[in-house]
Amino acid sequence: MIIVLQRVARAACTVAGEVTGRIETGYCLFVCGVKGDTAADVVWLADKVVDLRLFADAEGRTNLSLQDVTGSRKSVLVVPQFTLAADWRKGRRPSFTRSASPDEGERLVGVFERRLTERGVGVARGRFGAEMSIELLNQGPFTLVLDSSVRPVAESP
């Protein structure tokens, strides 16, 4: 699974004029299931997102995780985005053969969202397979690219 995580002051997803998800301070997560991903990979990455210390403490240091904050800061907007696994190296048209199939991708994103909810995080959603408009105000800016295929050996299942 590949995730682009952005710490945001606010974010919203709109599909055909309907707001499908909206958050205030938290994370906007662009999420892509990749062929070969397992539920264990997805749960590990969801736990990593929850436990990363990306919010400022009283001294202004990034020492607080989603587990440590309260209120609106303890929320995420999950935006399914299969294009994160694009191979753009050859030619001019990207290939998406590395992305999970639509059914599998949707299942993996569902596992990811359920794990975040189990960990006490508020989850707002985009709509899988839809043409989405995403509006966000990046805070920091603070952006990370997370990939379950490069996790440390010590953390493998």
Annotated catalytic residue: which of 30, 82, 112, 128? 82
The yes-or-no answer on residue 20 being catalytic is no
Residue 67 known to be catalytic:
no
Taking residues 49-58, what's their average pLDDT? 94
Domain of 116 in residue numbering reads as 2-143
| 157: in domain | no
Q: Is the pLDDT of residue 156 over 60?
A: no
Number of domains in the chain: 1
Is 128 an active-site residue?
Answer: no
> Average pLDDT for residues 121-147, to the nearest whole number?
95
pTM of the model: 0.92
Q: What is the pLDDT of residues 6-41, one digit of tens each?
A: 999 999 999 999 999 999 989 999 999 999 999 999
CA distance linking residue 93 with residue 27, whole number of Å: 30
Q: Which of 81, 112, 128, 139 is catalytic?
A: 81
In this prediction, residue 153 carries a pLDDT of 62
- Give residues with Cβ within 8 angstroms of 146, minimum separation 6: 1, 2, 3, 4, 5, 45, 48, 49
pLDDT at 7: 95
Tell me which of 38, 83, 117, 143 is the catalytic residue. 83
Residues 111 and 81: their CA atoms lie apart, in Å, by 15
CATH code for the domain in which residue 82 is found: 3.50.80.10
**pLDDT-based confidence at 155, cuts 50/70/90?**
low
Task: Look at residue 117 and tell me if it is in a domain.
Answer: yes
Q: What percent of the chain has pLDDT over 70?
A: 96
Q: Would 78 be classed as within a structural domain?
A: yes
How would residue 71 be classed by pLDDT, with cut points 50, 70 and 90? Answer: confident
Structural domain contains residue 19: yes
Pair of tokens at residue 10 = 């606010």
155: in domain: no
**Residue 152 binned pLDDT confidence (cut-offs 50, 70, 90):** confident
- Asked if the structure places residue 149 within a domain, the reply is no
Residue 154 binned pLDDT confidence (cut-offs 50, 70, 90): low
- 152, part of any domain: no
